[in-house]
Amino acid sequence: MPVAARKKPSRIPDARTTPTIDQVGIEERVARIKARSIKKETKVQGMKLALSMIDLTTLEGADTPHKVQQLCYKGMHLHDSLPGLPTVAAICVYPTMVKVAKKALGNSGVKVASVSTAFPSGQAPKAVKIADTKYAVREGADEIDMVISRGHFHSGEYDFVFDEIAAIKEACGDARLKVILETGELGTYDKVRLASDIAIAAGADFIKTSTGKISPAATMEVTLVMLHAIRDHYMRTGEMIAMKPAGGIRTSKQALHYLMMVKEEIGPEWLDPHWFRFGASSLANDILMQLQKEADGHYQSADYFSID
């Protein structure tokens, strides 16, 4: 599903053009969703859908080809004793491991995502970030996860942030671009909404909460603010933008609440791995444990599942 190039807006979003967020309203809405339960059959279907939306990730200095190959195998064969499970959506690695992941995944349909732009800090010259991105794409990355320059954002240099995202989008070629806002460093819901609007206007295919390297990472409240930015863009243009909460989502119950929120706030069309992802490797193991429990009434030990 290719995304057409977007025209540069006549005015780059800023605090004067972005809606003010009702913090109490956001938190009350999330609290109502969290209070709800999901019945058994719907729960199983929801957990399988969540599995298909996971980006399994390894982003450590000690990563080796063998570790990446092992993660790719897990992504394609989540739990051999439970037939009919989907693959994950993508394997996310550093640019130097893209070729290893691409070969290991073969024609499985699992995407290769690569972080870029001096992940996780984003502290590098634009030329280095562009070179980083082009290298990952040449190695075979299907998706690029970039981080915005939070220092420039906090300094009010919104043109800089916009132009940098647009330049990385161009460097991506046919690869889809996920723009990481690092919401835990933005401070307020109003700033999260502004950063979301800038990223979408600059050409993001996904907007993503976090690198997973700082706390807090993804929260339902922050994700709801970002979903509203996606909804408003869709209402204006008819163009769908994808969403990826990342970091801190560890249980199937949390994942199901996220899926409920997506369906009710922006529509069932987004309940597809092309339009919604979880950046949460540990989530896969919890879902597998819950599915095993639903299948035979017994929990397996966590030792039965590989640690990512």
Q: CA-CA distance, 215 to 119, in Å (whole number)?
A: 16
From residue 304, give the alpha-carbon distance in Å to each of 17, 20, 76, 257, 292: 51, 47, 17, 26, 11
- Give me the count of residues in the chain: 308
Q: CA-CA distance, 185 to 67, in Å (whole number)?
A: 30
- Taking residue 73's Cβ as centre, other Cβ atoms within 10 Å add up to 13
CATH topology for 23-297?
A: TIM Barrel (3.20.20)
Which residue in this structure is represented by tokens 């990952």?
Answer: 136
What residues are labeled active site? Answer: 145, 208, 244
**Would you state the pLDDT for residue 159?**
95
pTM: 0.92
CB 262 within 8 A of CB 227: yes
What single string gives the DSSP state of each residue in the chain? Answer: ---PPPPPPSS---TTTSPPP-HHHHHHHHHHHHT----HHHHHHHHHHHHHTBEEE---TT--HHHHHHHHHHHH-S-TTSTTPPPPSEEEE-GGGHHHHHHHHTTS--EEEEE-SSTTTT-S-HHHHHHHHHHHHHHT-SEEEEE--HHHHHTT-HHHHHHHHHHHHHHHTTSEEEEE--GGGT-SHHHHHHHHHHHHHHT-SEEE---SSSSS---HHHHHHHHHHHHHHHHHH----EEE-BSS--SHHHHHHHHHHHHHHT-GGG-STTTB-BB-HHHHHHHHHHHHHHHHS-PPPGGGS---
Q: CA-CA distance, 285 to 306, in Å (whole number)?
A: 8
Q: CA-CA distance, 215 to 103, in Å (whole number)?
A: 33
Provide Rg for the chain, Cα atoms.
Answer: 19
From residue 53, give the alpha-carbon distance in Å to each of 88, 106, 236: 6, 19, 27
Where does residue 11 rank: exposed (0-12), middle (13-18), buried (19+ CB within 10 A)?
A: exposed
- Taking residue 237's Cβ as centre, other Cβ atoms within 10 Å add up to 11
CB 133 within 8 A of CB 146: yes
Domain boundaries, the chain: 23-297
Which residue in this structure is represented by tokens 């995502």?
Answer: 113
Per DSSP, what are the bridge partners of residue 179? 146, 207
CB 90 within 8 A of CB 277: yes
- pLDDT by residue, tens only, the chain of 308 residues: 444 556 667 679 988 889 999 999 999 999 999 999 888 788 999 999 999 999 999 999 999 999 999 999 999 987 666 778 999 999 999 999 999 999 999 999 999 999 999 999 999 999 999 999 999 999 999 999 999 999 999 999 999 999 999 999 999 999 999 999 999 999 999 999 999 999 999 999 999 999 989 889 999 999 999 999 999 999 999 999 999 999 999 999 999 999 999 999 999 999 999 999 999 888 999 999 899 887 776 655 554 555 55
